[in-house]
Amino acid sequence: MPALAIADALRAEGAAVEFLGGERAEAELVPAAGYPIHPLRVAGIDRRNPLRAARAVALAARATARARRVLREIGADAVVGGGGYVAGPVGLAALSLRLPLVLTEADSHLGVANRLLAGRARRVFLAFPLPGRDGDRYRVVGRPIPAGTVDADRAAARARFGIAPDERCLLVFGGSLGARTINEATIDAFGAAAPCAILHACGRRDHEALAAQLAALGSPPHYRLHPYIAPFSDALAAADLAVARSGGSVFEVAAAGLPSILVPYPHATADHQTLNARHIAAGGAAVVVADAELDGPRLAREVGALLADPGRLRAMGRAAAELARPDAAAVVAREVVELARERAR
């Protein structure tokens, strides 16, 4: 999603944009957004399994060769890496062709691909300040977010979900697959009754099972369960409080001016979701609950305490807006366009 936000900003600057990507979410999201995508076969390096690691290295070598061919064919003037497995081979291909390489990092630590490439990139855009990553090469701009996140129409969004103008709304989400701990705690806490409307984007994996649980409870009218919500800016605009994981989406929540209860995914690489959550909490915009401590009663207490204190909610919302960096995509796009023009000159 940050890469798509940058692509939209690049297109607004007059650039043509094409993607090189793997077989994960980008294979569906990129074409749906109107951009060509050139598929690459890649895999993560499993340090515990030498055979799988060797296979991953072989795939990366082939992906680098294919990326070189594609970059030549499309006449690329600059390359933006968004992290992840694909970014490594494409970044290497860009460097071998002497194309300007710009990296973006959406989390509170550099992933493997970005660590390997950072020393030779022209610019590295960071979502969070990182120790030892300073100087002219690095810039902290926040996480690029989709256009429309800040100025989405609240009244229209609430009408879409059937939420009354004066009704309070709790938004719960956990990514495209969902977050099982959050999903189960939310049904337990608010399936039968709730102090507000519940707008729950549960992910495709758990949707059928959660829908069955709600049906057994009589399909309560206060509970709106969706596998996925698009555009997600509508969900953010409709809500008064969010419960979520603390990946890069914390910047979308912040840009919408939403207070939040963040539940970091405990198995994230380098525990970066905990670091993300602490950054938002330190700014006064979130409450952090460890995944192992979350259940229905705990979630009900945390949500109830915040909803019972409108002054605190307003203060957290203001803090969230102050932490937001809604111009991140535009900043990255302008830099990339300038580097491409320098190369042309």
| Span 94-149, pLDDT tens digits | 999 999 999 999 888 888 889 999 999 999 999 988 888 988 899 999 999 988 88
Integer Cα distance of 263 and 341 in angstroms: 43
Q: pLDDT by residue (tens digit) across 279-310?
A: 999 999 999 999 999 999 999 999 999 999 99
Average pLDDT on 193-207 reads 95
User: 42: pLDDT confidence band, cut at 50, 70 and 90?
Assistant: confident
> 6, 144 in Cβ contact below 8 A?
yes
Structure confidence at residue 178 (pLDDT): 64
In DSSP terms, 242 is beta-bridged to 171, 260
C-alpha distance from residue 270 to each of 108, 275, 330 (Å):
9, 9, 29
Structure confidence at residue 51 (pLDDT): 78
> 71, 93 in Cβ contact below 8 A?
yes
Count of alpha carbons within 13 angstroms of residue 218, beta-carbon side: 6
Q: Which CATH number fits domain 154-323: 3.40.50.720, 3.40.50.2000, 3.40.1160.10, 3.40.50.10170?
A: 3.40.50.2000
| Average pLDDT over all residues of the chain | 92
Integer Cα distance of 123 and 101 in angstroms: 7
Domain 2-145+326-344 class? alpha beta
Q: What is the pTM of this model?
A: 0.83
- Per domain, the residue ranges of the chain are 2-145+326-344, 154-323
Integer Cα distance of 182 and 290 in angstroms: 11
When mean pLDDT is compared across 157-171, 175-189, 289-303, 327-341, the lowest value belongs to 175-189
> 154, 238 in Cβ contact below 8 A?
yes
Average pLDDT on 302-329 reads 96
Helix (H) or strand (E) holding 136: none
Helix (H) or strand (E) holding 139: strand 138-140
Let me know if the fold of 2-145+326-344 is the same as that of 154-323: yes
> 18, 43 in Cβ contact below 8 A?
no
